[in-house]
Amino acid sequence: MTPARTRALIIGVMAIPLAAGVLWLHALPPAHGPDEEAHLEYVRALATDRQFPALRFTHGGGWSEGHQPPLYYTVAAVASAAVGVDWSLRWLSLLMAVGSVVAYYGIARRLLPGAPVSSAVMAASAGLLPMFSFLSVSVNNGALVQLLVALALFVGVDPTRWDGRRGVGAAALVGGAILSKFSALFLLPYTVLAWVRLVTERRLSPSRCLALTGKLLLVVAVVAGWWFWRNWLLYGDVFGWSQQMAASPTLVRRERVSPEYLYAVTVELWRSLWAAFGPSARQTAGPSVYILVTMVAGVGAAGLVSSRWDGRLGRWAGAVFGGAIVSFLGWPLAVPWFSARMPAVGGVPVKLALLCVVAGLLIAGMGPIRWRPNASARREIALLGLAFLLLLAGVYRYNLDFPQPQGRFLLPCAPALVFFIHLGWIAIVGWRRRWFVLLSGLALAVGANLAALTHYEG
């Protein structure tokens, strides 16, 4: 294929998430995004009153989002001079989403070096998650934090990319992401831990690691530190959480965090990551959809883990890991689904049986691994995994105070999940058959996106 045709094909594939976003833009009624009216009121406060709103639930509207960092709202207020402070600002969110998909492509290129079209297909699949499209056409700060996190992950942690002014720009991306949404704070430990790993590998000196960390913290303090100081002066804590709990009766700190609660949070995060639309996230998919998604993800996870180690031990580790994912996330959805058809099904024995059956199926299906990522790609996989785990830890920390297990909080690192599933399946079927995996993943993403759009109730 000629370079010109390759570029045209890449552009065509990458345009699919944009086309889906335009469809969602015209189908989504006003105020159907998460807290969309409140976010719009925040923008209006900046555009008309020229001041940041303080967090007060008694006023309603944007005051209930007054604790949110201001970068997205400032950008939207500037854009409102051209489009107005209304639902036209959704186009701004869609533009940010397009930028996110382009950054996903850059990340995928490091996972699949020398395969630009394959990378484009993986990036487009990540940009076609139904929840990604849903949030990409809503007035909310999630659109900007997704973009800046994607750019920060694309820039990466290679010390050579942090030299001179480039390092200031990279650190500014981290600071900008934090100034967009507090969930982006995971980028700080992510970057520092990645550099510490380079020190242990003797690819970075301890003194250089300290210098890079100092530059990162200094730039982030300049870019975003003032907002934390402002919250401390207003509310007595840097996040404004105490004011949230004092002002809203629905936000109550849990006195005891039980394993059952953490498990329920896990299942709900997984469920709402794939489908939770409309006001109060009242529209979801059926249990069979989640079972299918969990099975696909479990097999992909098994393949990815197995590709890390040679021999039968690696395949067993992958099979057990994949089976555990399917059982852990699948049985709260599978058991009610089976019980509705077979009333005798239920209880702990059924859950254990499901675990054994799934693990057995995965082990039986785990033949020789036919493709393994090279050392460079494995490092990138580890970095993406670290980013996702740190973001997930932050979401859990938030849910210790506020019972809001919403999967959309994980969307800044959702491409990690999509890429891992693709890579795991490619490891199983082989590099020459990768197009079966990539095109199947893209078709599933397009089908799920259009199905969610078609069944959306305005």
Q: In the 8-state DSSP scheme, what is residue 52?
A: P
- Quick one: which of 132, 163, 171, 172 has its CA closest to 24? 132
Tokens of 339: 């019980």
Per-residue pLDDT of the chain (458 residues; tens, 9 = 90+): 788 899 999 999 999 999 999 999 998 888 888 888 889 989 998 988 888 887 765 544 446 677 789 999 999 999 998 888 888 999 999 999 999 999 999 999 999 998 999 999 999 999 999 999 999 999 999 999 999 999 999 999 999 999 888 999 999 999 999 999 999 999 999 999 999 999 999 899 999 999 999 999 999 999 999 999 998 888 888 887 776 666 565 566 666 777 878 888 888 899 889 988 887 777 777 777 787 888 888 888 888 988 888 777 777 788 778 877 877 787 666 555 544 544 454 555 655 666 666 665 565 555 678 899 999 999 999 999 999 999 999 999 888 877 788 899 999 999 999 999 999 999 988 999 999 999 999 999 999 999 888 877 65
List helix spans (H) across 248-310.
Answer: 259-274, 287-306
Domain match, 229 and 330 both: no
Q: What is the Cα–Cα distance from 50 to 33, expressed in whole angstroms?
A: 25
What pLDDT does 336 receive?
54
CB 338 within 8 A of CB 354: no
Contact 216, 240 (CB under 8 A): no
Residue 378 covered by a domain: yes
If asked whether residues 287 and 336 sit together in one domain, one would say no
- pLDDT for 278 equals 80
Total length of the chain: 458
| Of the candidates 3, 10, 20, 35, the residue with the CA atom closest to the CA atom of residue 450 | 20
Backbone phi and psi for residue 258, each to the nearest 5 degrees, phi listed first = -95, 160
User: Does residue 296 form part of some domain?
Assistant: no
Report the sign of the C-alpha dihedral through residues 237, 242, 247, 251, in that order: positive
Tell whether 354 is covered by a domain.
yes
Shared domain check, 319 and 247: no
- Are residues 268 and 402 both part of a single domain? yes
Do 140 and 231 fall into the same domain?
yes
300 within domain boundaries: no
Residue 442: what residue type? L
Q: CA 196, CA 205: separation in Å to the nearest integer? A: 9
Which two tokens mark 33?
């995004």
> What's the total number of domains in the chain?
2
Is residue 249 located within the same domain as residue 335?
A: no
In angstroms, the CA 355 to CA 110 distance is: 35
> Is the CB of residue 350 less than 8 Å from the CB of residue 335?
yes
Nearest Cα to Cα of residue 410 among 179, 100, 145 = 145
3-state secondary structure of 283: strand
CA gap 210, 391 in Å, rounded: 23
Q: Quick check: is 299 in a domain? A: no
pLDDT of residue 342: 47
426 & 387 share domain: yes
Instruction: Residue 184: name the closest of 276, 69, 268 by CA.
Output: 69
Token pair for residue 80? 């409102």
Quote the tokens at residue 243: 């004011």
Query: Among the three residues 322, 350, 365, which one is the final residue of a domain in this structure?
Result: 365
pLDDT of residue 109: 96
Q: Is 202 helix (H, G, I), strand (E, B) or coil?
A: coil
> Which of 348, 365, 382 is the C-terminal boundary of a domain?
365
Do 280 and 348 fall within a single domain? no
- The reply to whether the predicted model has a pTM over 0.75 is yes
Last residue of a domain, one of 365, 380, 401: 365
Token look-up 């009624």 returns 29
| Domain enclosing residue 207, as ranges | 3-291+369-454
202 and 216: one domain? yes
Question: For position 8, what pLDDT does the model report?
Answer: 95
Q: DSSP letter at 85?
A: S
Distance of alpha carbon 7 from alpha carbon 448, whole angstroms: 27
The residue whose two tokens read 């999940």 is 417
Residue 240 identity (one-letter amino acid): G
Going by the DSSP 8-state scheme, the letter that residue 277 receives in this structure is B
Same domain, 22 and 145: yes
Q: Is 303 contained in some domain?
A: no
- Residues 244, 131 share a domain: yes
Nearest alpha-carbon partner for 124 in 451, 424, 449: 449
Q: Is 274 exposed, middle or buried (0-12, 13-18, 19+ CB in 10 A)?
A: buried
Identify whether 26 is part of a domain.
yes
Per-residue pLDDT at 362: 61
Query: Is residue 103 one of the residues assigned to a domain?
Result: yes
Q: In this structure, are 262 and 343 located in the same domain?
A: no
DSSP-derived letter for residue 237 is: S
Helices 3-27, 90-111: crossing angle, 10 deg rounding: 140
